[in-house]
Amino acid sequence: MKNFFGKKSAPVNPGSVLPVLPFSMNRRLFLQWAGMTSAAGVLLSSCKNDMLGPDGAARTGIGADVDVNLGSGDVGILNYAYALEQLEATFYERVVANPYSGMSAMERSILMDIRDHEVAHREFFKAALGSAAIPSLAIDFPGVNFNSRDSILQTARTFEDLGVAAYNGAGQLLSDMRNLNTAGKIVSVEARHAAIIRELISPNSRAFAGDDVVDPASGLDKAMKPGEVAPAAQTFIKQGLIASNLPTM
Amino acid sequence: MNLQNILHEIEQVDGEVYDRLKHVTRRHMFSSITKKALSVAAPAVMATALNKAYAQSGSTVTDVLNFALTLEYLEAEFYNRGLAAGGLIPAQYRDLFDQIRKHEDAHVALLKGALGSAAVAKPNFDFTAKGTFPTVFTNFQTFSAVAQAFEDTGVRAYKGQAANLMSNDAVLTIALQIHSVEARHAARVRMLNNAKGWIVGMEGFPGAVYAGEQAAREREVNVAGLTGQTEMKISEAFDEPLTKEQVLAIATPFIA
């Protein structure tokens, strides 16, 4: 199976019942999907998970050397969002726990708020996906200097702009209206974060909605497909993310 | 906007456009075109998405876009008049409002171009809202407060219409790309008013702009319980939609 690092994959299959978000991938489609992976162990382990119920206890021991399959359909897109939220939440948790030198009270307040929002998004997706959720990801931030204001704010800007573009591009890939509505409630909060972080970097300028991110001719923010976003996110995630089963249209 | 010109533009990025027009379903056609052309020819794609069947008055997509156009007319004229009013906007804030104005002008042009002859006309506006904000173009605090109300309403208005655009991938994506720009604007303007960039509970003025924003559960998930955060904090993390009727009730006082 193809993944972004070309690793040999041992996919974690997210197929199971969703306690909160009914999704359109029924058992027949799931079996088709499982068959396409041509990995017998996947099917067996998923059946086992189904039988064990929604606590997902069977999927323990996920190590950094195991690839994570986001899955397909709406669940795949929600897992993709969950992965991005894990990345953002972990980043801000570390930023707040290890404040860079010279962090002002206002900056600290803003970064704590953003941390809380990203944690809320992460925990929402985890609960909503239930046993279909991908595991907690092993995350690190190579090249990010947590003692440097510049490094932290530039990284925050990158994550927030990427999140906005990812949600904007994923909207049309969702088939359940309720999932689209939820994504809409989150993406505008990410855009608010992006604007405020950009304001901290370049006060009283046009940067909050700068020409580098909002096309000046059309007034449109960016929209990126999972195939463009996942490789950028992969830099910070130790497991290989398998996005190849996500919907593309 | 001339359909032939639009097709010609799309042909530059999708050589099979005419075949697609003949042989595939409309939804498939738009999706295929979108993948290739979204970033380079957004207005053209959007206009094509609205051709013939979609551009008939009364279709859901056209109605949503005309609703959006009306809000963009409101915002664009508001910022253009604010920037033209001598002594209103302090020098250090002119760039930020000029950037917002530029985007709202672009949104008007994009939506008008896409709707073509189906576009609604620009109403006449009364930014005092029938006398509620008499100093809107002479007092910066008033101007900035009204700007925040318009931007937060715009975010909620687009969000509320997303589901109505699911039949048309190209238009949905463009609406989402406008939606997040409005949220960037809202966050920046809120800072001018000593507010957080995000909406806290239902705090804000006028109250109708923030009705329902205190919601702390998403899809029945008790996020406060899961995280140990307050419900007020959870309300910040999820922006809520407004219905078309709620938005029109907010906007109507500004229409002369």
Q: Do A190 and B180 touch (CB under 8 A)?
A: yes
**Is B185 touching A (CB cutoff 8 A)?**
yes
Which residues in chain B are contacts of A214 at CB distance < 8 A? 103, 181, 184
* Cα B9–chain centre separation: 26
- Give contacts of B71 with chain A, Cβ < 8 Å: none
What is the structure's pLDDT at B59?
A: 85
Give pLDDT, residue A92.
Answer: 98
User: Pick from B174, B180, B191: which is nearest to A191 by CB?
Assistant: B180
Q: What is the mean pLDDT of each run of 10 residues along chain B (256 residues)?
A: 38 39 36 43 61 57 96 98 97 98 98 95 97 97 98 98 96 98 98 97 95 94 96 97 97 96
Judge: B188–A209 Cβ closer than 8 Å, yes or no: yes
d(CA A150, CA A100): 9
Chain A residue with Cα closest to B35? A249
Kindly state whether B196 is in contact with chain A, defined as any CB-CB distance less than 8 angstroms.
Answer: yes
- For A220, the closest of B181, B188, B218 (CB atoms) is B181
Which DSSP symbol is given to A220? B
The span from the CA of B11 to the CA of B6, in Å, is 9
Look-up of token digits 């109300």: B149
> Token pair 């009270």 is at which residue?
A105
- Please list the residues that pair with B11 across neighbouring strands: none
Q: Write the pLDDT tens digit of every residue in B108-130.
A: 999 999 999 999 999 999 999 99
Q: Nearest CA to A188 among B171, B177, B236, B239?
A: B239
Q: Give the model's pLDDT for residue B43.
A: 63
**Do A93 and A159 contact (CB within 8 A), yes or no?**
no
To the nearest whole angstrom, how far is the Cα of B78 from the nearest Cα of chain A? Answer: 17
Comparing alpha-carbon positions, the chain B residue that sits nearest to A21 is B219
Nearest by Cα to B21 from B39, B35, B33, B36 = B33
Buried b (16+ CB within 10 A) or exposed e, A46-73: beebbeeeeebebbeebeeebbbbbbbb
Whether residue B255 contacts residue B126, with contact meaning beta carbons closer than 8 Å, is answered with yes
Top-confidence residue, A106 or B3 = A106
Is A222 close to B198, i.e. CB distance below 8 A?
Answer: no
Q: Hey, what are B211's tokens?
A: 């009705």
ipTM attached to this prediction: 0.83
Give residue B119's region: left, alpha or beta (phi > 0; psi -120 to 50).
Answer: beta
Could A116 and B110 be called an inter-chain contact, meaning their C-beta atoms sit closer than 8 Å?
no
B59 interfaces chain A, CB cutoff of 8 Å: no
Pairing state between β A241-242 and A68-69: parallel
CB contact under 8 A, A223 and B187: no
Cβ-based contacts of B34 with chain A (< 8 Å): 172
Using the Cβ of B212 and the Cβ atoms of chain A, whether some distance falls under 8 Å is answered with no
Mean pLDDT of A83-101: 98
Residue B25 touches partner A, C-beta closer than 8 Å: no
Q: How far apart are CA A70 and CA A62, in angstroms?
A: 14
- Residue-wise pLDDT for A134-186, tens only, equals 999 999 999 999 999 999 999 999 999 999 999 999 999 999 999 999 999 99
User: B181 contacts in A (CB within 8 Å)?
Assistant: 191, 209, 214, 219-221
Q: B180 — contact with chain A (CB < 8 Å)?
A: yes
Residues on chain B touching A178 (C-beta within 8 angstroms): 219
The whole-angstrom distance between A48's CA and the closest CA on chain B is 26
Give the mean pLDDT of A188-210. Answer: 98
* B33 interfacial to chain A (CB closer than 8 Å): no
B237:A195 CB<8 A: no
Higher pLDDT, A31 or B89: B89
Interface contacts A/B by beta carbons within 8 Å: 200
For an interface test with B, which of A23, A172, A224 has the most B Cβ atoms less than 10 Å from its Cβ?
A172
Q: Are B85 and B103 in contact (CB under 8 A)?
A: no
Q: What is the DSSP letter of B156?
A: H
What residues form DSSP beta bridges with A241? A68
Polymer length in residues for chain A: 249
CB contact under 8 A, A187 and B163: no
Q: Are A134 and A241 in contact (CB under 8 A)?
A: no
CB contact under 8 A, B187 and A206: no
Distance from CA of A11 to the nearest CA of B (A): 28
Please list every residue in chain B whose beta carbon sits closer than 8 Å to the beta carbon of residue A86. none
Backbone angles phi, psi at A215, to 5 degrees: -60, 120
Residue whose C-alpha is closest to residue B46's, from B121, B132, B109: B109
Minimal Cα distance from B166: which residue of A?
A172
Contacts 24+ apart (CB under 8 A), B29-34: B30/B168, B30/B169, B30/B170, B31/A172, B31/A249, B31/B169, B31/B170, B32/A249, B33/B170, B34/A172, B34/B169, B34/B170, B34/B173
Query: B201 by DSSP, 3-state: which?
Result: coil
Probe site for chain A from B152, B155, B176 (most A CB atoms < 10 A): B176
Give the list of residues 6+ apart from residue A129 with CB closer than 8 angstroms, or none.
A14, A18, A21, A75, A78, A79, A82
Two tokens, residue A150: 């510049």
- Give the DSSP H/E element, type plus range, for residue A182: helix A177-201
Nearest by CB: B227 against A20, A123, A171: A123
Is there a cis peptide before residue A19, judged by omega within 30 degrees of 0? no
pLDDT at B49: 58
Residue B57 φ/ψ, nearest 5 degrees: -55, 135
Nearest to B218 among A117, A182, A220 (CB): A182
